[in-house]
Structure 1
Amino acid sequence: MLKIFKYTALFEGVSYLVLLANMLIIKPNNLELYKTLLKPIGMAHGVLFILYVILAFLLKEEKNWNKKDFAIILGASLLPFGTFYIDSKYLKSTN
């Protein structure tokens, strides 16, 4: 399950960055393209975010994450590049 969480964290982080790029780069230059991409990108990111949180709760006891580490892991999903930090700090032992 840890390997699935690692990939989910990676894809969730990438989807967040793509969503931000759509909003900050594409929207001012091409409103039609922005509107076309918003729903599929937003839906993918939403599903990945929910999966990330569910997997974090399922892995909490298995990995013996204390409350502080668990809060950092959950909070990282709210920050751009946060899940990449979690991958390097907490999930690096997984291939």
Structure 2
Amino acid sequence: MIQAFRILGWLEGASFLILLFVAMPIKYMAGNPAVVKTMGPIHGFLFVGYVLFANFLAGELNWSGKTRIKAFFAAVLPFGTFWFEKKYLKNEAVAEKA
């Protein structure tokens, strides 16, 4: 289950970075909103999925309220999901395999 959340986190983080650093510059510098119209809904779907999965996983793994809030906050920061995965999910993944 943690592995699925890690994958979702990577997908959500990558879609956010593509939206911020590729789609938005194309929209505003080149005047072409097509990439934003494509990536926006994809990122939105992944974002909602990440937040819902984080909430579910927090209950399953008995995360503290502080860790749960950090997981939610990571979803709105560029590179946040990558940081959260590295800082909080490494130990959880090791414990799940044992």
State the TM-score, normalized to the length of structure 1: 0.88
Question: Structure 2: any 5+ residue segments left out of the alignment?
Answer: none
How far did residue 31 of structure 1 move?
1.0
Deviations 1:41-88 (A, max 9, x none): 001100000100110111112222100111011111010000000110
Aligned to 2:77: 79
**Identity fraction in percent:** 39
Runs of 4+ aligned residues of structure 1 deviating over 2 Å after TM superposition are none
Aligned to 2:15: 15
Alignment of 1:11-90 (within 5 A): 11-21=11-21, 22-23=23-24, 25-32=25-32, 35-90=33-88
Aligned length: 92
Aligned to 1:6: 6
How far did residue 28 of structure 1 move?
3.6
Question: Structure 1: any 5+ residue segments left out of the alignment?
Answer: none
Q: Which has the higher contact order (CA 8 A, sep 6+)?
A: 1
State the TM-score, normalized to the length of structure 2: 0.86
